[in-house]
Structure 1
Amino acid sequence: MKYILASCLAVSVCAANDPKTGTFTNLGFDEPIITFPPSLGLTSDILNGWALTAAGGEVPIVIPVGPTVTVPTLTFAQPYKDPLPSFGKYQLSFVNFVNHEFELTPTYTLKQAGKVPELALELQVFYDSFDTPPPPDLLQCRINGQNIPIESSDWFGVGIWEFPVSAYAGQEVELEFVLGPTHGLFFDIAGFTSVPEPSTWALLGLGGSFFGWVCRRRRRPQ
């Protein structure tokens, strides 16, 4: 009986926590194409699926992957802090280092087309700069050109933010992030959070009912 209960609960948890990225390529920047080993690549390869523009123009620069001694315009590096395991290995860092001083970056735009998962509830991102929470002119998420309101997550205070996307669940969309001028920022995407399927809720209910039945049997006088 214990084995059956453990199996039901395990299946329920796995189904509820299954990560979903839809048909987007390299959604969390963790699948780069390294053009020049061990640590260099063209922006289009490093971002692999994303189109990056700055002030309306492309950013065809070569950027380093991982920790670096110099400070390039765009760094693709391991997170200096890991708020959640779901954020993967890498995050983007944007700085503008000119004449030994940090100046404001241009406005960057990341864009990609793909299908939002069927059960998508929110899109979770990591954004860290000198402004917290980030004002609308510094961090915007758009779907098909429409601004999505930003919400603080349960992890408020560590740079994690969410955008409600349930209205677009199951649809082919154009996903866009606008990163406004700042003296430096870190950006990453964890992915879509989803509501469990009806079958998952049924499994959870079955497991809970079974657990309650076992507890009642144990409390019965012999």
Structure 2
Amino acid sequence: MIVRHLGLVPYEPTWRAMQEFTTIRDASTPDELWLVQHPPVYTLGQAGKPEHLLQATEIPLVKIDRGGQITYHGPGQVVAYLLLDLHRRHLKVREMVTLLEQSLIDCIADFGLKAERKDGAPGVYIAGEKVAALGLRVRNGCSYHGLSLNVDMDLTPFTWINPCGYSGLKTIQLKDFGVTEGPDEVAARLLGHLQRHFPEVLPTA
């Protein structure tokens, strides 16, 4: 798997690049994993309802093609995009989601914290409060989009939405629990767990 550390990059061009990568890839294309942070942006999934944005803000809203409702990305949040050939990996979408959630749970456990899943609400939670979000798109058997993990960021913009469509859902971050590692260090830990759960699968020649 080719890993790309893209740094702080604007959301929309990154999304368009994922789409283009997925459109032009073939059976000989290696999978890729992109680690990024984004400037402040709200993203609204395919079936997302605009009313989940509770007030007008200066933060841009981008309507995109992943599943799910509205979420927020901003500096201090680790975002991982997984561009995988699911057919080649013999993975179904539900299995991929489970592996993504487990990678997050394992990463958070490195800090002595217990994170868990919640039935019917993709993502990862600590004591019922959301610390990580998931959103995927699969096209022609290949995935893009991925996950976000809140590390050390301004959480205020989450209070201006119903995160992932859930009214009153509290969003938290690792810093709230005394984690002093920054986003880059947490991203490195998360990468290790993602590589373990999604081991290298060679493309066909």
| TM-score between the two structures when normalised by the length of structure 1 | 0.30
**Would you tell me which structure has more helix in proportion to its own residues?**
2
**Would you tell me which structure has more strand in proportion to its own residues?**
1
